[in-house]
Amino acid sequence: MTLQDFSICESRDAIFFEDIFPLKKPRLNVETQIESLPSTSSSVPARSSQEIKFEPRRSKRQRVETSFGPDFITSFISEINDLDTLSDHIAQAYLLDEDPKTYEEAIRSIDASFWKSAIKDELESIMSNHTWELVDLPRGFKTINSKWVFRKKLRPDGSIQKYKARLVVKGFTQRFGQDFFDTYSPVTKISTIRALFALASIHKLQVHQMDVKTAFLNGDLDEEIYMEQPLGFEAPGMEGKVCRLKKSLYGLKQAPKQWYEKFHKTILSFGFVVNGSDACVYSRMFGTDCVIISLYVDDMLIFSTNIESINKTKSFLSTKFEMTDLGEVDVILGVKVIKSEKGFSLSQTHYIEKVLKKFDSFDVVPVRTPYDSSIHLFKNEGSSVSQMEYAKIIGSLMFLMNYTRPDIAYVVSRLSRYTHNPSNEHWVALRRLLKYLKGTMDWRLEFVGFPATLEGYCDANWVSDSDEVSSTSGYVFTLGGAAISWKSSKQTCIARSTIESEFIALDLAGQEVEWLRSLLADIPLWGSPTPPVSLLCDSQAAICVAKSQVYNGKKRHIRIRHESVRHLIRNGVLSLEYVKSERNLADPLTKGLSRKLVLDSSRGMGLKPIG
């Protein structure tokens, strides 16, 4: 019997064995199956292909592994105990894999020696800080589990700076009222950091950076919390005991709050004064020298007119906490800080490059404007198009927009409204924004120290090209030659006229004026008395209504809450001035503009190419 004696049947009906792996059991080859058949044709019912299955023909040529495998890489770096001895291309070629998810995965990875070193450093910090004591678990108490979290800390160019291991408590198992009470902890605003760099460029300040090692371990606990011993590091002979936490650990719900309170009390005892508008900004005068500290969890910036005052502050902090002196500031919160003769620049060039490569947009043809004003975007009533990918891109661009790129604030704000159900039209607009970023990838926010006055711009775009009934507000404030605060958002109430939409935008900008003015007034370098902040608007009607004290029944649709603008003018907090639309820096935060206006407004906000 040969293969020609069998027929092949085709059918639309099929059965999928979803719970059976078909190749798990060895199969007989074709010759063995044929020889096992009975010799009489009567024993073959209907000669169906469902009863005779053929194994696909496979090559008998021996396959050879082309790569050297992980053992070669492990032996290659086994003698290297310091990451700095590895060149950047070797580190990126062999060590840029995903971070381990578990302790077992870390100690079995090709860079296990680095992870073990990071774990050792973490445990040494915990033990030196007397974070816990081993006790028997009291009756009525429950333990909280913990896990190891591993991360590679990267430089702005993408190379590995250090390996970090954290022992993290599973705080989601904590119970309110028993294991924790308050959880709130402040962090400095990114607008504050930009304002401080503007002051540094004006007064030629020196800016240094420090990092608090295992910051959360310094917080004192008020609650009685028990934790199981860390995986892989149980004390010999005391495996049945648990850790009674005396200090906070990463993952505890109250850990950020306890760390901030500990730092707050410590820095106040050294004579620093907390800023009334930002609870994470502290200042002190050393004679005629002013020192300003800005704290973002465990990242710390120190501004001063004198290096000796900075060294005094560093010495004091090093006696209270385990600190890492990073010298002059280089990177803060993922933003590259570039110092020049003119002042300071903030750049996210490498982040933009990373985003473009991640979403396959690095090789696109650049465009000159972030948004095409000729297109009209509406809510998608049909099925969504790649909703998860759309949301990832929007989230990545929001970080960029909030930190160094005010020129894309309107586009990101507008496109984020359709994140839940994007259409092809929304994708076209989003891809255009990525093309714009490719052409402006080297732009940076440059503070040159002039002008040394706080100035604001605000604008509104009444409902025009959308199916929504809400207008758009936008404002931007500049200091030292670049923007320190900006916003583009949809208005929360419906404006019945252009003048009302302008008043809503003025009210929003007025809130920011109050905050910025108070922030700078509490910094000794700013001086006093604080003059009114000049707020420029391109609506003469809104300016006239704001300055007029006479009530007109025709303006009754302007709501009472927008009377706050008049209150700020009367109290000398701000002064309203007129500016032409083409010179209004807030104009690109409310609508799409032409190439020239985009370029001019970006330069006015301090965005300049590197070099």
| pLDDT higher than threshold 50 for residue 150 | yes
Name the percent of the chain in helix, strand, coil, to the closest 5.
35, 20, 45
- Domain assignment present for residue 388? The answer is no
Average pLDDT, the chain: 82
Out of 333, 359, 389, a domain closes at 333
Single pTM value for the model: 0.78
- Judge if 327 and 460 occupy the same domain: no
Overall average pLDDT of the 374-390 stretch: 88
- Judge if 322 and 458 occupy the same domain: no
328, β-bridge pairs: 208
Banded pLDDT at 559 (limits 50, 70, 90):
low
Dist. CA 351–CA 416, nearest whole Å: 20
pLDDT of residue 439: 93
- Domain assignment present for residue 611? The answer is yes
- Domain assignment present for residue 245? The answer is yes
pLDDT of residue 469: 75
Banded pLDDT at 29 (limits 50, 70, 90):
very low
| pLDDT higher than threshold 90 for residue 248 | no
- Judge if 292 and 153 occupy the same domain: yes
- Domain assignment present for residue 357? The answer is no
Overall average pLDDT of the 260-268 stretch: 94
| pLDDT higher than threshold 60 for residue 48 | no
- Domain assignment present for residue 567? The answer is yes
Overall average pLDDT of the 477-485 stretch: 95
Q: Kindly report which listed range (151-155, 405-409, 582-586, 587-591) carries the lowest average pLDDT score.
A: 151-155
Banded pLDDT at 65 (limits 50, 70, 90):
very low
Out of 277, 311, 333, a domain closes at 333
3-state SS, 402-464, equals HHCCHHHHHHHHHHHHHCCCCCHHHHHHHHHHHHHHHHCCCEEEEECCCCCCCEEEEEEECCC
pLDDT of residue 8: 65
Banded pLDDT at 92 (limits 50, 70, 90):
very low
Banded pLDDT at 611 (limits 50, 70, 90):
low
- Domain assignment present for residue 411? The answer is no
Out of 333, 358, 382, a domain closes at 333
The residues near 409 (Cβ < 8 Å, ≥ 6 apart) are: 401, 474, 486, 487, 488, 589
Long-range contacts from 451-455, C-beta under 8 angstroms, 24+ separation: 451/480, 451/481, 452/202, 452/479, 452/480, 453/479, 453/531, 453/534, 454/478, 454/479, 454/516, 454/517, 454/520, 454/533, 454/534, 455/479, 455/533, 455/534, 455/536
- CATH code at 512? 3.30.420.10
- Judge if 131 and 260 occupy the same domain: yes
- Domain assignment present for residue 362? The answer is no
pLDDT of residue 379: 87
- Domain assignment present for residue 177? The answer is yes
3-state secondary structure of 81: coil
Banded pLDDT at 40 (limits 50, 70, 90):
very low
Q: Which pLDDT tens digit goes with each residue over 316-362? A: 999 999 899 999 999 999 899 999 988 999 999 999 999 999 999 99
Q: Which two tokens stand for residue 22?
A: 């078909």
Banded pLDDT at 466 (limits 50, 70, 90):
low
* Structural domain count, the chain: 2
For residue 507, give its domain range.
451-611
